[in-house]
Amino acid sequence: MIKSGVNNMLTFDIEEWFHANYDDIVTPADGKPSHFRYCMDTLLEICRKTDCKATFFVLGYIGEHYPDVVKAILREGHEVASHGYAHQLAYKQTYEQFKADVKKSVDILEHITGVKVIGYRAPSWSIVESNLHYLQALEELGLKYDASIFPVKTFLYGIPTAPTEIHKPRVGGKELGIYEVPMSVMQMAGKNIGYSGGFYFRFFPELWIKNVIRTANRQGKSSIVYLHPREVDPTEQKLSLPFKEHFIHYYNVRGTKSKLERILRSFEFTSIAEQLKTRYNLEV
Cβ–Cβ < 8 Å for 233, 42: yes
DSSP 8-state symbol, 77: T
DSSP SS3 for 257 = helix
CA 259 to CA 206: how far, in whole Å?
Answer: 7
Cβ–Cβ < 8 Å for 21, 89: yes
Hey, what domains does the chain have and what are their CATH numbers? 8-280 (3.20.20.370)
- The pLDDT tens digits for 168-226 are 999 999 999 999 999 999 999 889 999 999 999 999 999 999 999 999 999 999 999 99
- The pLDDT tens digits for 8-62 are 999 999 999 999 877 666 555 556 789 999 999 999 999 999 999 999 999 999 9
Distances (CA, A) of 3 to 43, 180, 218: 23, 26, 10
Share the mean pLDDT of the chain. Answer: 94
Query: pLDDT band at residue 232, thresholds of 50, 70 and 90?
Result: very high
What does the pLDDT read at residue 27?
A: 58
Beta-carbon contacts of residue 198 (< 8 Å; ≥ 6 apart): 226, 227, 228, 231
